[in-house]
Amino acid sequence: MWGDEGAYGTWASYLDVWQKDLQPHDQVLPRLEQRDFTTDTWTRLVNRIFDAIGGRLRLWSDAFSQSMSRADSEFGVGVALTQARVGLAAILALADHPSLPDDLRLQLREVVERQIRSAQSQLEQQLDRMQQSGSPRSVVDARRRTVRDNPLDAVLAAGWQATQMAPAAVSSQVDLTKRPKRTFAID
């Protein structure tokens, strides 16, 4: 049903790729039930899932730090923050994967949520440090507004969907080889 590798193998292969890649994969994953595995195997599989999520969070963190350091305006910081949610949404999607048992899903969700909230609070603490180190108050206030206006943990809200975000860079959506045809709204 899941190829030659079985459920464990399918999940393990998926996790190997997934934890290195920032882009989410569309792949049907088999449902996991603890009773289908020996205790050791189940423990190994759960550890692999936790490791994959941990690895992916580290990748996300590096990418986020880079995009934040590249941003040279408040608008750029806002873009970095909102774009960073796409990566977080992909991690949350795995933690919430319907093929995982409920109790494991809860644990994973808790871990990811904690990490996301921690990232948001680190941003705030960073601003406090900026202020203490003598950065102009107006600069710190503007950044605080940006951080609070575009919080990373918005991704944890019930209705938040990755589909609300642009799937890729805006420029890649435009077909530059054709002149756009406009459809008027005339009844």
Of 75 and 141, the one with the shorter C-beta distance to other proteins is: 75
Q: Which stretch binds other proteins (CB under 8 A): 5-13, 17-25, 125-133, 150-158?
A: 150-158
Q: Using the rule CB under 8 A, which residue among 59, 79, 93, 130 binds other proteins?
A: 79
SS3 content of the chain, % helix, strand, coil (to 5): 70, 0, 30
Kindly write out the interface string for residues 30-69 of this chain, putting x where it contacts other proteins by CB under 8 A and - elsewhere: ----------------------------------------
Q: Could you say which DSSP state residue 100 is in?
A: S
Task: Please give the residues from 97 up to 116 whose contact with other proteins meets the rule CB under 8 A.
Answer: none
CB of 130 to other proteins, least distance (A): 20
Is 56:91 a contact under the CB 8 Å cutoff? yes
Non-local CB neighbours of 108 within 8 Å, separated by 6+ positions: 49, 50, 53, 94, 95, 96, 100
Interface with other proteins, residue 133, by CB under 8 A: no
CA–CA distance, 124 with 68 (Å, rounded to integer) = 14
Residue with tokens 């077909």: 175
Residue ranges in contact with other proteins by CB under 8 A: 72-76, 78-79, 81-83, 146, 149-151, 154, 157, 159-160, 163-167, 170-171, 173-175, 180, 182-187
